């Protein structure tokens, strides 16, 4: 399920902006993007997400907005300075130059004088960072819940339509046997004319057809799966994968009903059911 949430946080290192977004995904995948100085807390940020979202691709990005005031220190590599002076004196003697190394010359040498910023204590800053990340996640979850409510209404409507379809099929099923018996009787009369018709044999043929085309068990299971879907839609927690399984089972029952019924009206109804199931399956991909 898609969603977006934003937050902000301030530490001694500066001000940061937090963005949290989700995309559809069968499982939970958390992607965290941080500035280099915050890289050590990536697992902590991921842990905040995993406690709130159970399914989908979640992207958390923390971006620096401005810099805070941090202490800077100047460090001089004394050993390197001594090595430079010694090397310059050796060069002076080797090529018979005049002059002596001075401070300006040494200051111009690379890597001799370094300005370093004091690194932020991430353990101390974590509380502020966590507040900003939670703020973004809270807003993300709120958006997902709003979208989820609309999605649940759509799913319930589709489930009701499937229920109406299967009730129509259930009412039609007994008529299929009756119509088959009538057609079979007319054909026999056409073939035999005034000859005697074996009523027992006719009844056996009708019973065999009725048994072969019996879809009562499939209809019962279809209703049961619909009832389970309704229960999960009314419940809480992550139900997306369970709903996917139930829709898959509904598809199997629809295929069996369509193949066993041996009736154009029921077959047409099952084609409509399969189309509804495909739409239902696509929507469930958005459910956590």
- What are the mean pLDDT values of the chain's consecutive 10-residue runs (288 residues total)? 84 84 84 89 91 86 74 77 84 80 78 72 85 92 85 89 92 79 68 60 64 80 92 78 90 89 85 90 79
**Domain boundary pick from 143, 177, 196:** 143
**Same domain for 105 and 163?**
no
**Same domain for 20 and 134?**
yes
Which of 164, 280, 165 lies closest to 232, judged by CA? 280
- Domain of 34, CATH number, reads 3.30.230.10
pLDDT in tens, 184-227: 666 766 666 655 555 666 666 656 666 677 788 889 999 999 99
**Domain boundary pick from 82, 108, 143:** 143
Task: Say how many C-beta atoms besides its own lie within 10 A of residue 58's C-beta.
Answer: 23
**Same domain for 202 and 271?**
yes
Q: Per the confidence metrics, is the pTM higher than 0.75?
A: no
Q: What is the DSSP letter of 36?
A: G
Residue range(s) defining the domain that contains residue 32 = 3-69+123-143
**Same domain for 137 and 252?**
no
User: How many separate domains does the chain show?
Assistant: 3
**Same domain for 241 and 135?**
no
Task: Say how many C-beta atoms besides its own lie within 10 A of residue 90's C-beta.
Answer: 10
Q: Return the pLDDT at 151.
A: 85
**Same domain for 138 and 240?**
no
């Amino acid at each position: 399920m898609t969603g977006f949430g934003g937050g902000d946080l301030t530490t001694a290192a500066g001000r940061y902006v937090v963005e949290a977004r989700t995309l559809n995904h069968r499982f939970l995948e958390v992607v965290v993007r941080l500035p280099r100085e915050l890289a050590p807390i990536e697992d902590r940020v991921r842990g905040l997400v995993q406690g709130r979202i159970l399914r989908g691709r979640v992207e958390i990005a923390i971006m620096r907005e401005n810099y805070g005031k941090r202490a800077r220190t100047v460090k001089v590599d004394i050993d390197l300075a001594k090595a430079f002076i010694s090397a310059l004196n050796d060069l002076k003697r080797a090529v018979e130059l005049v002059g002596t190394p001075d401070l300006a010359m040494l200051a111009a040498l690379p890597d001799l004088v370094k300005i370093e910023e004091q690194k932020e204590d991430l353990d101390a800053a974590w509380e502020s960072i966590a507040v900003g990340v939670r703020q973004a996640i809270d807003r993300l979850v709120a958006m997902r819940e709003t979208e989820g409510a609309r999605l649940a209404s759509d799913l319930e409507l589709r489930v009701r339509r499937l229920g109406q379809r299967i009730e129509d099929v259930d009412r039609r099923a007994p008529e299929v046997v009756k119509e088959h018996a009538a057609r079979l009787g007319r054909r026999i009369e056409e073939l035999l004319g005034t000859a005697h018709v074996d009523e027992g044999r006719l009844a056996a043929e009708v019973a065999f057809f009725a048994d072969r085309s019996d879809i009562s068990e499939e209809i019962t299971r279809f209703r049961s799966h619909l009832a389970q879907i309704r229960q999960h839609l009314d419940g809480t927690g992550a139900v997306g994968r369970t709903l996917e399984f139930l829709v898959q089972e509904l598809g199997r029952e629809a295929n069996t009903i369509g193949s066993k019924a041996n009736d154009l009206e029921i077959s047409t109804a099952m084609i409509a059911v399969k189309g509804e199931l495909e739409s239902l399956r696509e929507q469930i991909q958005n459910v956590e």
